[in-house]
Amino acid sequence: MKLKDKIISFILVGIALIIVLQPRFRSVEVILDNALIVVLIYVSIGMLSALFDRRQLVYISLLSALVITLYMKNISNDNLLYSKNDGSLPNLEVCHFNVIDFDGDNTEIIKSIIELNPEILSFEALSPMLNKYLIENLKNRYAYNTFINRGGDIDSKLILSKIPITGVDTFYLKGHPQLKVGVSNKKMNINLICSNITPVMYNNRNSIQDAQIDELAEYVLANTDNIPTIVIGEFNQVYWSKSIRYLLAKTKFNNARRYVYLAKRNPYEHIFYSEGLVCLKIEELFDNQSNNIGIKGAFVINNNNELTIRY
């Protein structure tokens, strides 16, 4: 192998190891966030190397891409296909919106919500005026609500529900308030936790994120009472990060995602769910400019394991 090819191979393998092992350096976050692009670059390098008969680079680039892809897939939802509901179990759709991406177009937010029509909605980083606007304009569809009003900062939250809210709890992750609600009717009894993890840019390091994830895991374990639980919100990190791996391992929750899209915005919104729930579908929400505006998940309540996988 030529010296130039050895150097390129060393760099390719090094980046792949960084994504999998995730050493604690700020620059690692940038590489992690762009892991999908890295995979595409590796595949492109492999194809170009094949054209010029540089076999070693072909093997190393494609194998590195495969390692990264398998690593990411291992943390996503491991069902080959999402389950299907035969109608015997109650459906539940939840949706999380990034209102900042609507650029102040409140009527467009209402329009999108009506089109999606989920049972439960969560929002964050919304102003007191928008908070009031959403409650007033959706009260005929969503009779139940609870919120944390922090003047539009990242800790502001709103939950709207068609299902009666039977319990509300505000808890804190390193001083940042989070919302947990219990919703219940004749068909279902679940917990929903609306959470956000502080962006790295606010603390210049990920130690605060790690501490918040650890506190969230402890809260989930102590306060969900074996009731089916959904955690939804803005985690400000990709799901293949070490912190998210830790959260899922400690709580034994499942990741609703099976894949992610290459979009203008990193896939920072996530939905995690406990036993007693089966994920039917998850989808990224985009506007007509391909901006990511949120995430939506569809579930069934499966306390008695009645639902089987159907292909």
Can you spell out the DSSP letters for 67-89? Answer: HHHHHHHHHS---SS-----SSS
Q: Taking the model in full, what pTM does it have?
A: 0.87
Helix (H) / strand (E) element for 189: namely strand 189-196
Q: How far apart are CA 43 and CA 59, in angstroms?
A: 10
Q: Do 86 and 112 touch, CB atoms closer than 8 A?
A: no
Task: Give me the half-sphere count of Cα atoms (radius 13 Å) on the Cβ side of residue 32.
Answer: 25
Place of tokens 């499966």: 302
pLDDT of residue 189: 92
pLDDT of residue 47: 93
What six digits make up the tokens of 254? Answer: 């499942």
pLDDT of residue 4: 84
What six digits make up the tokens of 307? Answer: 């639902």
Q: Do 120 and 299 touch, CB atoms closer than 8 A?
A: no
Nearest CA-CA partner of 256 in 243, 267, 272? 272
What six digits make up the tokens of 176? Answer: 């940042």
Which domains are delineated in the chain? 3-75 (no CATH), 91-301 (3.60.10.10)
* Average pLDDT per 10 consecutive residues for the chain, totaling 311 residues: 85 93 79 91 94 91 94 77 64 87 72 91 89 93 93 84 96 94 92 89 65 96 91 92 93 87 74 91 78 86 51 28
